Amino acid sequence: MIDAGKQPVLGVLVDVVDYDGATRRVLDAARDGRPLALTALAVHGVMTAARDPELAGVLNSFDVATPDGQPVRWALNLLHGAGLEERVYGPELTLRVLEQCASEGLPVFLYGSTPETLSLLERNLQARYAGLKIAGSEPSKFRLVTEEEADEIADRIAATGARVVLVGLGCPRQEIFAYAMRPRLNMPLLAVGAAFDYHAGVLRKPPAWMQRRGLEWLWRLGMEPRRLWRRYLLLNPAYLARLAAQRTGLRPGRPVPPRREPLKAFPA
């Protein structure tokens, strides 16, 4: 098991952690009934935060930020000698956490996406893990919510008896949601993005060989070119350029201080 703390990648703090380390952090918090915010960061998340100091502050306040994308894992190894042999991919981490939750009888809440996707997701997860307890689910509102509405959402989640919350709102909305809800819920919140669509069966996973070579972006670009072309064709070269600048010392990549202030309104 690896859980060796955080290191900066373009000013964003990413954990040097493997699947076992990340799963343990989540399950320990779930058993203890204490808050924890986790996100799985790919290049898109790192670059969005690198260009937005406020978002970087939000991400740097997270308890765990796993290297979801292979290029983020490579960056940790290159810049900090992390020695990570595999990434900690959000959809796979989701399954490992759910398997343990099913084994221990820890109820799970699903927040985000659409009612149709949530219905498919619940059915598929319960078919996969016979003992899994899904305490409840709530689709995204696809709008900003106020602090008062956030309190109401938190009350609804807490009332179900859930011990883990999976959040699927897409980056960076899900990270902002998890940051805002962390002080309101005594349980871990996992921002896992595409895991909802993959495990609901509405989005096809790339082949394993593409995932190993860091080509998942190319697969997703082929699946959704009109929506994702700007994200990948512009952000990926910029990521490599900034990574080279941090490696050579031209741009140190010092981490942005963690944000502590509450949000007045945020996407849900």
Q: What is residue 223's predicted lDDT score, i.e. its pLDDT?
A: 67
pTM above 0.85, yes or no: yes
Q: Residue 164: its pLDDT value, please?
A: 98
Closest alpha carbon to 29 in 125, 100, 126, 121: 100
What's the confidence (pLDDT) of residue 249? Answer: 83
Cβ(187)–Cβ(35) below 8 Å: yes
Over residues 94-101, mean pLDDT: 98
DSSP conformational letter for 257: P
Question: What is the dihedral angle through the alpha carbons of 122, 95, 193, 69, rounded to the nearest 10 degrees?
Answer: -160
E strand or H helix at 217: helix 216-223
Residue 128: per-residue pLDDT: 96
Q: Which residue has the tokens 């954990």?
A: 15
Neighbours of 31 (CB within 10 A): 11
The mean pLDDT of 115-122, rounded to a whole number, is 96
Residue 15 phi, psi dihedral angles, 5° rounding:
-80, 135
CB atoms within 10 A of CB 14: 31
> Taking residues 75-90, what's their average pLDDT?
96
Average pLDDT of the residues in 150-169: 97
Q: Which residue has the higher pLDDT, 156 or 242?
A: 156
pLDDT digits (tens, 9 = 90+) for 16-40: 999 999 999 999 999 999 999 999 9
Query: Residue 103: pLDDT above 80?
Result: yes
What are the tens digits of pLDDT across the range 227-261? 766 666 777 788 888 988 999 888 878 898 999 99
| CA nearest neighbour of 111 among 181, 46, 50 | 181
183 DSSP 8-state letter: G
* pLDDT for res 59: 98
Kindly tell me if the per-residue pLDDT of 151 is higher than 70: yes
